[in-house]
A and B are shown apart, each in its own frame.
Chain A
C-alpha cells in the first residue's frame, strides 16, 4: 500500500506546485467560507437591532471583499486542481505506456494483452478520478468540518455541542451504509464487466450468431444478464438511497434542537444572550449544513477511493514490473553474419512452468541457409525461433547469432538483423506505406514497390483504389488474411536483415503465391539466412535443410528426400497432404 502510493506519487512530478497549491487555496477558500456566515450574522443582527446604515455598509463591504477573496481562492484552486489532475494523469499514463514498451515478451505474456488494455484504460480512469477527489475534496471536507464547528462555537458557544453530538452519529450511519454497499458494488461491477464482454463476443462472432440463427437466443441471454446487472445495481442503490434521508434527519433534528435551545436561552437570559441574535441563529444552521454535507462528501470519497484501490494496485503492478531481459553492460553493435548456433538449449516460458518448452537443442545453421521447420501443434516450433531475436531468453545453454551470444548484443541491433514475421501478426491503422515503413523509416517509394514485389504484395496493392496510400483499418480488417500476411512479410523484408524468420506466415496465402514468394527469396536475397515454419510440406521441401520438431525436441534434420526416406513423422505429414500421391509435387 505504501509502496503503491509512493509509486503513484511520483507521477505528480512537474505538477508538484499545482498539487500543493490546490489544497493551500482550498484551505484559504474554506477559511473565508467559514468567516462569511459569521460576518453575515453580524450584518443580520445589525439590521434587526438598530438598522445603522454605516454598520450595515461596513459589514456589507467586508462581505463583498470576502466573497471576492473566496472567489479568487476558489477559482485558483480549481485551476490548479485541473492542471494537477490532468498533469498527474498525463504522467501516469505515459509512465504506464512507456513501461509496457520496455516489457519483454515474457512480461507481456504474464499480464496478457486484454489485461494490459484494462489496466491502461478502465483502471487508469478510476485512479485519475480518485486523485482528483483526494486533492480537492479529501482536503476540503475535513477542513470544512473543523472550521465550521470552530466557528459555531465562536458564534454561539454551548449550542454548538448539538453538532458535536450529531456529526458522529451521522458518520456512523453513513459509514455503515458504505460498508454494506461496497461489497455489492464490487460484485455488480464484475457482472457488468461480464455483460460488456458478452457484447464484445457477439460483435466479434456475429457471423456465427447469424449463421446459426441465434439472434433471439443471444438477445434473451443478454437480457437475462442485463437484468441481473440491473438488480445488482438496484440493490446497491437502494441502500445508498438511505443516505439522503439520513442526512436530512441529521440536519433537521439539528435545526430543531438549535431552535429549541436557542429560543429558551435567549428568553431565559432576558435577551442578555444577545450574541445569539437572529443572525447568529440562522448562521448556526448554515454551519450545520456545511458540517453535515462535509460528512456526506467524506463518505462519498471514501467509497470512491476504496473502489479505486484495486485499480491502483493493478496499475502499480505494471509500473513495478521488471523487464525479464537485461541489457548487456558492453553491448555488441555489429552482427557479423547470419549464422545461428544453439548449444544445449533448454527453455521454459516461466520459472514456474513444469515442462520445458524446448529441451536439449543443439543446432548449427550457416549464414545464407534456408531452413524449413515442420512439426505438430505444441511441438515448440515457435519457441525455437523466438530465441533467435531474443524475444525470450534461453533457460539453459546459449543461442548465438553470428557466433556471438544473443545476450551480448544491443537488443535493437540484434532485432534489426533478425527480422521475424510473427504467427499472430498485426497491421496498424495507417496507410500501407506507413505500415511498410515500420521496417525501414527511410525507405523510398521505389524501394517499397520493389520489396512488395518480392513479397507478392505489389499486385494486390496496385489493385486497391488508393494503391500504396490505402488506409488500413484498425486491426487490418479491410485486407484479407493472405494480403495481411504478405504485407507483414514485406514489412519484415524492408529491414534487410541478415536472418529472416517466417513463423507460419503464409498459411493464408495460396500455394501459388507461396511458391512465388519462396522463389523470390531464393533469387533476390540469397545471402539472408531464412527460417520458415510451415504446415505445408510444399512450403519447406525446397529448403536446404528441414527440421522436424516433436515435443520440444529436434526429431530429425535433413533434406526433403532424406527425411522422406528416413523420418516417419515427416513421411506421415507428407502423405496426408498428398494422399493420392504421384503428382508433379515430387518433381
Chain B
C-alpha cells in the first residue's frame, strides 16, 4: 500500500511560474512604504557609488592645472591655487558620501524589518493554513517533510529576501547608472563593456546554472540523508538487537556518497564562478585600455558620446575605472544564482502547503449556551449556563429551532473508505442514546477507530447518515461538533508547557479548581503533586519526563475538564499497566457517568459493563448487544471472550 505521498516525495518540486511573483506579493503585502524607501535608498546609493569615480577625475584636473602653475609661478602659488579647490571638492564628496551612508544605513535597517516581518508572515500563514487542513493531509504526508517547510525552505527564502534581492537590485542599478555615465564619455568603449557583460552573463548561465542545479540536488540528497539518519536513530535500539549495524553502515555509505558527490559538484561550480568572472573582468579591463589607448594614439577615430568630448586621457582613465566597477557588480550579482534557485524550489514547496485545500465546513448548526424557562422552552443566552443547545436555522422559512444537547448519536447504513476504491466500513448502523456506553470490539483493522473518525468528522462518510441529537452531522459546524465530543487516544500528545496548561487545554477558561477536580477524577492528582513542581512542572518533548501511564492520565484529565456530553475513548488505557488501569478505570467510570461513551479496547474486561457491545469484523458489525446477551449467543464475542475460538 504505497501511498501517494511516497510518489510525491520523489517528484522534484518544480519552480512553477509565478512563484517569484508570489514571493514579491508576500514581501510587498505589509511593507510597501518601506520597500519604496528601500528602493529609493538603493538608487541613491547606486548613483553615489558610480558618481564618485567622476569626482576622482576632478583631482586629476586640479593636479594638472596646479602643476602648470608650479612650472610658471613656483610651488607656493601652485599650492595656493590647489588647496581651496581640493578642500571644496572634498567637502562636496564628503556630503555625497554622507548621503550614501545615510541611504545605506536606512535601507539595511529597513530590510531587517521587511525580511523578518515577511518571514514571520510566511511562517504564520503556513501555520494557520496548516491548522485548517483535514486530518487526511497529516495522515498522508510524512511529518519530516512538513517540518522542513518551516526550517530549510524558510531559510532559503530568508537568504533570498535579505541578501539576494537587495544585492541584485543594487548591482542592477549601479550597472545601469554606470552605463549611463559611460555613454556620456564614449559609446564605442561602452559597447566593448557591454560585449564583455554579455560574455559574463553567458558564463554565469552556463556555470552558474550548473551550480544552481547541483545546489537544488544537494538540498534533496541532504534531506534524504537527514531523513535516513532520523529514521535510523529512532530505530537504533532495534538495529542493535538485530545486529544490523554493518548493513546500516552500508546503506548509509550509499546515501552519504551521493550527498558527497552533489555537495562537491555544487560547490565546485559555485567556487570557480567567482574567479572566472572576476578575471573576465580583468581581461575586459585590459581590452578597454588597449582600445582606449589605441584610440588616443591614433587620434583619427571620431568619439561618439553624449558629452561630445574627443578621446583623451580625461575620458579613458575614468572609463577604465568604471569598467572595473561594472564587472565587479556583474560578478556580485551572479553569485546569487544558487540561492535564487534554492529559494525558488523552497518557495514552491511552501506555496504547495499554503495551497492545500482546507478542511471544508458547510455546517450552520451551532452550539449555544441555553436557558430553559419554566415551560421547558429553550432560549439562547450569551453567558455560560452549563446547558447547551443546538441552534438550527432553517433557510426555508427563516425560523430557528433549538434542540438541547444530549449526546444522542445514531448511524444509519454508513459506508466509508479512506480511498474511494476501498470501502473499509460497510452498512454500519448503530444507536447510542444519551448516557449509554457503546463498546467496539474486534480484530486489529476491523474498523473500530475508523468509526470514531467519522463521528467527529475527521473523515467524511461515503454513504449513509449520521445523526447527532437528531441533526445530520454534516449540518453541524465542525468546531461545535467536536466541542461536544471528548477524545482520549492511544497515542497521547502533550504540548510544551506546564501540567496545568496541558490539562487546561480541554477548557481554556477552566479555573485552577476545575483543573484539580479533573485531575482527581482521572486519578492523576496524586502523581502530579509528587512531581518536582507539582502542577507547574514543565513538560517538554511530549511529556518525555513522564511515564506512558502518566501521560495517559493527563490526557484523560484533559478530556475530563472539557466536560463534553459524548466521549470517545480509543484504547485509552491500553498502555497503562493493569494496576494503574484500575485507578484510571475508577476515574473513567465517574467520567463516563451521564455521558454517551464510545469505547475501543482490547481488554474485554474493560468493555464488559457497556450497554451495547459491537463486534466488528472486516468493517461490518457482526454481533451487537450487552455482554450477557452476547455470551449467551455463544457467537464470536463468546469465542473472543473465552479464547475458545476456532482457527479460521
Determine if A471 and B6 form an interchain contact, defined as CB atoms under 8 angstroms apart: yes
Chain B residues with CB under 8 Å of A538's CB are 643
Chain B residues with CB under 8 Å of A207's CB are 135, 458, 487, 489, 493
A197 within 8 A of B: yes
Chain B residues with CB under 8 Å of A282's CB are 56, 317, 321
Q: How far is the CA of A46 from the CA of B442 in the complex (A)?
A: 96
Q: Which of B372-380, B404-412, B468-476, B600-608 contacts A (4 or more CB under 8 A)?
A: B600-608
Given contact pairs A53-B297, A101-B248, A377-B576, A60 touches B289 in the complex (Cβ within 8 A) = yes
Determine if B313 and A47 form an interchain contact, defined as CB atoms under 8 angstroms apart: yes
Determine if A213 and B479 form an interchain contact, defined as CB atoms under 8 angstroms apart: yes
Residues 88-123 of chain B, each 1 if its beta carbon lies under 8 Å from chain A, else 0: 011001100100110011001101110111011001
B645 within 8 A of A: yes
Given contact pairs A75-B275, A101-B248, A219-B128, A585 touches B542 in the complex (Cβ within 8 A) = no
A486 to chain B, nearest CB (A): 8
B257 within 8 A of A: yes
Q: Is chain B's binding surface mostly helix, strand, loop or mixed?
A: helix
Determine if A68 and B571 form an interchain contact, defined as CB atoms under 8 angstroms apart: no
Residues 333-365 of chain A, each 1 if its beta carbon lies under 8 Å from chain B, else 0: 000000000000000000000000000000000
- Pairs A-B, 8 closest by C-beta atoms: A74-B275, A78-B271, A205-B493, A482-B444, A82-B267, A584-B642, A86-B264, A237-B112
Contact of B229 among A78, A117, A195, A197 (CB under 8 A): A117
B485 within 8 A of A: yes
Kindly report which residue of chain B lies nearest to residue A576, judged by CB atoms: B582
Determine if B272 and A75 form an interchain contact, defined as CB atoms under 8 angstroms apart: yes
A50 to chain B, nearest CB (A): 10
Determine if B282 and A93 form an interchain contact, defined as CB atoms under 8 angstroms apart: no
Determine if B485 and A211 form an interchain contact, defined as CB atoms under 8 angstroms apart: yes
B439 within 8 A of A: no
Chain A residues with CB under 8 Å of B647's CB are 516
A585 to chain B, nearest CB (A): 7
B400 within 8 A of A: no
Chain B residues with CB under 8 Å of A134's CB are none
Determine if B120 and A203 form an interchain contact, defined as CB atoms under 8 angstroms apart: no
Contact of B317 among A48, A77, A491 (CB under 8 A): A48
A1 within 8 A of B: no
Q: Apart from A223-B128, A263-B82, list 12 A-B contacts with CB within 8 A.
A: A60-B289, A81-B267, A83-B268, A97-B252, A98-B249, A201-B495, A208-B505, A219-B127, A223-B124, A264-B82, A376-B579, A377-B580
Cβ < 8 Å to A, chain B residues 222-254: 225-227, 229-245, 247-249, 252-253
Determine if A227 and B120 form an interchain contact, defined as CB atoms under 8 angstroms apart: yes
B581 within 8 A of A: yes
B590 within 8 A of A: no
Contact of A482 among B112, B127, B268, B445 (CB under 8 A): B445
Kindly report which residue of chain B lies nearest to residue A248, judged by CB atoms: B101
B195 within 8 A of A: no
Chain B residues with CB under 8 Å of A51's CB are 293, 296-297
Chain A residues with CB under 8 Å of B174's CB are none
B23 within 8 A of A: no
Residues 553-597 of chain B, each 1 if its beta carbon lies under 8 Å from chain A, else 0: 001001000100000000100111111111001000000000000
Chain B residues with CB under 8 Å of A471's CB are 1-2, 6
Determine if A585 and B485 form an interchain contact, defined as CB atoms under 8 angstroms apart: no
Contact of A97 among B116, B249, B479 (CB under 8 A): B249
Chain B residues with CB under 8 Å of A132's CB are 267
Determine if B70 and A267 form an interchain contact, defined as CB atoms under 8 angstroms apart: yes
Q: How far is the CA of A119 from the CA of B425 in the complex (A)?
A: 45
Chain A residues with CB under 8 Å of B485's CB are 211
B462 within 8 A of A: no
Contact of A579 among B83, B313, B441, B608 (CB under 8 A): B608
Q: How far is the CA of A201 from the CA of B138 in the complex (A)?
A: 12
Residues 137-148 of chain B, each 1 if its beta carbon lies under 8 Å from chain A, else 0: 011001110110
Determine if A376 and B131 form an interchain contact, defined as CB atoms under 8 angstroms apart: no
B269 to chain A, nearest CB (A): 8
Given contact pairs A78-B274, A234-B116, A538-B643, A415 touches B242 in the complex (Cβ within 8 A) = yes
Determine if A268 and B75 form an interchain contact, defined as CB atoms under 8 angstroms apart: yes
Chain A residues with CB under 8 Å of B261's CB are 86
A259 within 8 A of B: yes
Chain A residues with CB under 8 Å of B249's CB are 97-98, 101
Determine if B443 and A510 form an interchain contact, defined as CB atoms under 8 angstroms apart: yes
Cβ < 8 Å to A, chain B residues 426-463: 441-445, 449, 456, 458
A139 to chain B, nearest CB (A): 14
B176 to chain A, nearest CB (A): 21
Chain A residues with CB under 8 Å of B423's CB are none
Chain A residues with CB under 8 Å of B52's CB are 255
Cβ < 8 Å to B, chain A residues 66-94: 66-68, 70-71, 73-75, 77-79, 81-83, 85-87, 89-90, 93-94
Kindly report which residue of chain B lies nearest to residue A89, judged by CB atoms: B263
Residues 184-219 of chain A, each 1 if its beta carbon lies under 8 Å from chain B, else 0: 000000000011111111111111111111111111
A169 to chain B, nearest CB (A): 16
B246 to chain A, nearest CB (A): 8
Q: List 9 A-B contacts (CB under 8 A).
A: A66-B282, A87-B264, A93-B259, A114-B541, A203-B146, A215-B131, A271-B67, A391-B237, A429-B231
Kindly report which residue of chain A lies nearest to residue B56, judged by CB atoms: A282
Kindly report which residue of chain A lies nearest to residue B457, judged by CB atoms: A210
Determine if A36 and B282 form an interchain contact, defined as CB atoms under 8 angstroms apart: yes
Determine if A121 and B226 form an interchain contact, defined as CB atoms under 8 angstroms apart: yes
Determine if B120 and A219 form an interchain contact, defined as CB atoms under 8 angstroms apart: no
Determine if B229 and A512 form an interchain contact, defined as CB atoms under 8 angstroms apart: no
Q: How far is the CA of A227 from the CA of B124 in the complex (A)?
A: 9
Cβ < 8 Å to A, chain B residues 1-36: 1-3, 5-6
Chain B residues with CB under 8 Å of A210's CB are 135, 456, 458, 482
Chain B residues with CB under 8 Å of A462's CB are none
Determine if A466 and B1 form an interchain contact, defined as CB atoms under 8 angstroms apart: yes
Determine if B317 and A47 form an interchain contact, defined as CB atoms under 8 angstroms apart: yes
Cβ < 8 Å to B, chain A residues 212-251: 212-219, 222-223, 226-227, 229-230, 233-234, 237-238, 240-242, 244-245, 248-249
Chain A residues with CB under 8 Å of B289's CB are 43-44, 47, 56, 60
B290 within 8 A of A: yes
Kindly report which residue of chain B lies nearest to residue A484, judged by CB atoms: B444
A403 to chain B, nearest CB (A): 22
Chain B residues with CB under 8 Å of A321's CB are none
Residues 317-329 of chain B, each 1 if its beta carbon lies under 8 Å from chain A, else 0: 1001100100000
B610 to chain A, nearest CB (A): 13
Determine if B230 and A121 form an interchain contact, defined as CB atoms under 8 angstroms apart: yes
Given contact pairs A230-B120, A248-B97, A425 touches B238 in the complex (Cβ within 8 A) = yes
B346 within 8 A of A: no
Contact of B1 among A114, A204, A419, A478 (CB under 8 A): A478
B198 within 8 A of A: no
Kindly report which residue of chain A lies nearest to residue B578, judged by CB atoms: A573
B43 to chain A, nearest CB (A): 16
B151 within 8 A of A: yes
Kindly report which residue of chain B lies nearest to residue A419, judged by CB atoms: B241
Contact of B86 among A113, A263, A515 (CB under 8 A): A263
Q: How far is the CA of A278 from the CA of B67 in the complex (A)?
A: 14
Determine if B608 and A580 form an interchain contact, defined as CB atoms under 8 angstroms apart: yes
Chain B residues with CB under 8 Å of A482's CB are 443-445
Determine if B86 and A79 form an interchain contact, defined as CB atoms under 8 angstroms apart: no
B569 to chain A, nearest CB (A): 12
A420 within 8 A of B: yes
B79 within 8 A of A: yes
Determine if B245 and A101 form an interchain contact, defined as CB atoms under 8 angstroms apart: yes
Determine if B578 and A206 form an interchain contact, defined as CB atoms under 8 angstroms apart: no
Q: How far is the CA of A234 from the CA of B119 in the complex (A)?
A: 11
Kindly report which residue of chain B lies nearest to residue A198, judged by CB atoms: B496
